[in-house]
Every structure is written in structure tokens, then in C-alpha cells.
Amino acid sequence: MTEALPVPAPTKATPAGAGRKVLFSAMKNEAPFVLEWIAYHKVIGFDEVVICSNPSNDGMEEILAALAEAGEMRHLRATVPEGKSPQIFAIRKFAADVGFHNGDWYLWLDGDEFLNVHVGDRTVSALVEELGERHCALINWRIFGSSGHARFPGRFVSPDFARASRPDFLMNTRIKGIFRHSAAFSGFAEFGIHRPLIARNSGLRLEDFVTGNGQPALPTGRSHLRWLTGEDFTNTSQLNRNESGWALAQINHYIVRTKDFFGLKQKRGRGYVSRNNARKVRHTDEFFREHDRNEAEDRSILHWQDRVTAEIDRLMQIPDVAAAVASSQALVEGHLAQLAAPVAAAMADAPDGGNAFAMAFPAAERGLLESCYARASNVLEYGGGASTVLAARSGLSVICVEGDKNRANRLAAHLSGITDKARVHPVDIGPTGEDGRPLKPRAHQRFHRYALSVWDRPDLAEPDLVLIAGRFRAACLAAVKLRATRPTTVLFADYADRTHYHGVERLAVKEEVAGHMARFTVTPGPIPPEMMTEVVGWFSDPR
């Protein structure tokens, strides 16, 4: 029988709340977000913020350098060899240049993660005081979606980002660990980066850790038991559902942000893996659709909104910081413009010689439509033509509702030569005139199908953009409200000067008007009872 190794006693815990609080991150191309991220975490009480960057092209490193020069944070740089993991190099850089000190608390967050404390005065100190003599807290994510924004509105700690996933969404069982360093820890793990690395023969027990529900870790968690041995392995990011929760804190994870910046993230690649590891591709259109969760409202982080605004203003008073931010904004706008260029080219090519599907929108409406299509993945159109061709040539998934049988057939034939991701959904509303208007009112029994039947298609992917440019337009917006499962961007053609449409403003938020086209954000939900008579009437109004 092998003799058991001696087990050292756990390092005696420092007094509750003692020790510095250190936040670490590894970042690349986070310029539009990094100032708010730093300001927020300074406001909630981190004593030191350390960011390790690897070469960026959006001005982020210049912002960090200016902040570091002013003594506001610490900036490390790592040049990562081709084929290596940037985050592993960042971990080693932190250990070498900063290091760990017994009694201090450490947390690693990514640039899209914000620690949101729920206990005491909601600071980091309040969190560690609540932990008492425990050594580590495994804090669950809460996944936040785009809140219906195609373009980034400028801030996360604001009412613009108040939509989140339901509590039971599986990704909310993922965690990040904040820990008090001692001889029982070896710092940040290189593979199991969601938790600290435990020293072998540390003497730590499950009751030394608290999970998302505020209780000690359970022995039924196989990852816990393996982790306690000191092994560094990748599958450390998740808790069981019965351990998950936000009793003490949560990590607001703005995992997809908005469609425009998700596109840039797709180009950037992942920080955890090398760019040439094709098996680890994560930032796909499918990933965006799955994680753009907006079913619930969570405004808890807005407790800090005014303080964060004041802190950003203070940091922007540093001349070099202000100059670096202004320079980065110009760079980012250039990158976004390049991202949209292929869609713009498709727009320019949309009219096909003598083809009938020519773009009829004036310049202002065309510009709004172009920018929204550039950031969309799944488009639903009520009435289409050139816009459908644009979507098809841009590689988008698009379904176009069409009430005119002949036009539906011509459009379907044209799209078949471009892609199989573009489909036409014909709806029989009886004979129609040249403008698609029904000619026989007696066909009114079918009219409701124009707005609603497309939502019953098994191949309809959840649309992130809806164009309303056909018939029964007010009813089409009501259908989005009734059938969508997340906030959805809606472009409403010919809206501005047609007052008979304006009742929809009681169902949706009008975000902007370009020419005669309006852009709405439609949040799913029931029709208000006092509007039922009016809304039911819309489904038989072909305007």
C-alpha cells in the first residue's frame, strides 16, 4: 500500500474583508468598451486593475497606455507566437510581472464580463466580507443579449442593456472564481481558466468554497473533486443547476453585445485558443442567435450608473486618455465600415439589368436598410424584391412574405439562382392588383394569414430583422410582437407621413426615422387589452 503524502493545514484565513482586490483581464481590440469596463470595476472597489493586451488595431493599447501612465491601472503587453493561446501567455505574463500576494483577492474577467454584487453596499469588499473565512466564490454568469440593438448604443451600464436570459438558461450555470490567495493556490489556471488553480495537497475542502446559490460546493460535483486535487483541466466552467444562482453576486456577461461588434469579434478570433485551431470556432451566426437572450429584464447593475458616468468623465479629463479614445473611435468606425462594405456592394448590384427587382427606396431609406442588413443574420420580409436579393447575395437567411402569386413565383425563380437560404412564403389573399392590394374584399377570411402564417413555418429561424414593406403593415408589426421571442428590429416602410400606421407606437419603441422609413424595436408580449379591438381590425386592413 502506498504511503499517503502529508497534507498541510490550510493557510489561516486573513480577517474578513482584508486584503487588496485585484482584477485581471486579457484583451484584444476592446477599445469601444474598455474605458467603461475599467471605470465600473474601479467604482465597485477593485484596488488594482491589470490588463494584458496582445497587439490590437483599434486603439485599445493606446488607451491602456494613457491610463497606465496616469496611474489609473496597470498595462501589460504580450506578443503571442503564431499558433499559441493568447490567454495562456497573459496568465504567465501576470504571474511574472505582477504576481500573487497572500491575503489579496483575485478575479479574472473578460472584457464583456462585469461583476455585479448583490450583498451589502454592493462593492467587492461587501462580497468578500460575506464570504468570511471561505477561500473562493464561484460566481455564476447571467447572459445578456443585444436588447434589440443592431448598433452599439455606447454603454452597458445603462438602460440600453436591461434585457437578459431567463434564469434557467443553461449558459447561466457557467462561473468565474474570485479567490483569496494563499499557499493553497497556485494562481490562475492555464486550462481551467474559470477557476483558480489549487495547489496539490492544499488541504482545501468543499466547504471552503461557496457556489452561486450561496452554499458550499457539493460533493456530487465531479469537477469540484477533480479540481481539489490540484489538476489543471479545461472542464471547470460549469456548476450543477442545483448549485447555480445569484445569491451573492452575478457576472453580467454581454456575450454577443450587438450585431455590429459581434461581426468584428468574428474577425478577431478567440482569446483562449490559437487562430489556426479550426475546431474551436465559436463566434458564428448560429452562436449569436443562440446567445442573443432578451427574454427577461435585469436592471440591477444600474445601481452604479451615475457613479460610473462620473468616473468615465473623470478619466476623460486626462488629456492623453481623451486623445486616445477619440483616435480609437475613428479607427473603429473604419473597421465597421469595412465590415459593411460587402453588403453595400451587394446592394449596388441588386438591380439585375432588366430585372424587375429594382431598389425603389430613396437614398435615406436605402441607407438605413443597408446598415441594418449589414448587421443581420436572419431576415423576415413582408413584401420584398430588391431587398430580398440583397439579403440573398449577402449570405443572409431570408424569408419573404408575398401575397401576389405571380410576383412570388418570379422572385422565387430569381432567388433560386443565388442561394438556397432565400425563400418566398406565398400567401393566398385572393386576386391582387399591380400593387399587391387584394381586389376581392370577400377574401377577408384569408387576410390574417398574411401577417401570421409565416411564423408557423418549421424552417423559420428567429428573425433578428423584420422589413415591413408589403400589405397589412400594422398587423405585421403586431404579429412580430405576438410571435417573436426576443426584442426584434423592425424597419417599417412609408411610415412617417401615413398616420393610419402610427397606432403601432403603442406596441413598439420608435428608434429613428430616415426619410419615410422608421426603425422600431419590438419587444415580445401580449397586446394590451385596451388595444385589442383596434389591433384585430389591422389584420383585415390591407394598407
**Domain segments of the chain as ranges:** 21-267+284-316, 350-538
Grid coordinates representing 219 are: 460533493
- What is the rounded distance in angstroms from the CA atom of residue 41 to the CA atom of residue 108? 12
Is the distance from CB of 296 to CB of 164 less than 8 angstroms? yes
Contacts of 416 (CB under 8 A, 6+ apart): none
pLDDT of residue 249: 98
Provide the whole-model pTM.
0.65
Q: Tell me the per-residue pLDDT of 326-336, one tens digit each, with 9 for 90 and over.
A: 999 999 988 88
Residue carrying C-alpha cell 419573404: 400
pLDDT of residue 342: 60
Contacts of 540 (CB under 8 A, 6+ apart): 444, 447, 448
Q: Tell me the per-residue pLDDT of 413-430, one tens digit each, with 9 for 90 and over.
A: 888 888 889 999 999 887
64-66-68-71 Cα dihedral, nearest 10 degrees: -140
Per-residue pLDDT of the chain (543 residues; tens, 9 = 90+): 333 333 333 333 444 457 999 999 999 999 999 999 999 999 999 999 999 998 899 999 999 999 999 999 999 998 777 777 888 889 999 999 999 999 999 999 999 999 999 999 999 999 999 999 999 999 999 999 998 888 899 999 999 999 999 999 999 999 999 999 999 999 999 999 999 999 999 999 999 999 999 999 998 778 899 999 999 998 899 999 999 999 999 999 999 999 888 887 776 554 444 444 444 445 677 788 788 888 899 999 999 999 999 999 999 999 999 999 999 999 998 888 877 666 555 555 544 433 456 677 888 888 899 889 988 999 999 998 889 999 998 889 999 999 988 888 889 988 888 888 999 999 988 776 655 666 666 667 889 999 999 999 998 999 999 999 999 999 999 999 999 999 999 999 999 989 999 999 999 999 999 999 999 999 999 999 999 999 999 999 988
- The CA-to-CA distance between both ends of the chain, in Å, stands at 86
Q: What angle do CA 315, 317, 319 make, to 5 degrees?
A: 105
- What is the rounded distance in angstroms from the CA atom of residue 538 to the CA atom of residue 543? 9
Q: List the alpha helices (DSSP H) in 98-144.
A: 124-131
Residue carrying C-alpha cell 392588383: 433
Closest CA to 368 of 389, 347, 338, 342: 347
Q: Strand, helix or coil at 13? A: coil
List, as one string, the DSSP characters of 333-344.
HHHHHHHHHHHH
Strands (E), 387-507: 397-402, 422-426, 465-468, 488-492
pLDDT of residue 276: 43
Contacts of 319 (CB under 8 A, 6+ apart): none
- What is the rounded distance in angstroms from the CA atom of residue 329 to the CA atom of residue 268? 17
Bridge partners, 188 (sequence order): 196
Q: SS3 breakdown of the chain: % helix, strand, coil, rounded to 5?
A: 40, 20, 45
Closest CA to 23 of 95, 108, 113, 110: 108
pLDDT of residue 382: 96
Contacts of 537 (CB under 8 A, 6+ apart): none
What CATH number has the domain spanning 350-538? 3.40.50.150
Is the distance from CB of 423 to CB of 381 less than 8 angstroms? no
Bridge partners, 490 (sequence order): 466, 520
pLDDT of residue 407: 85
- What is the rounded distance in angstroms from the CA atom of residue 33 to the CA atom of residue 63? 11
Bridge partners, 141 (sequence order): 251
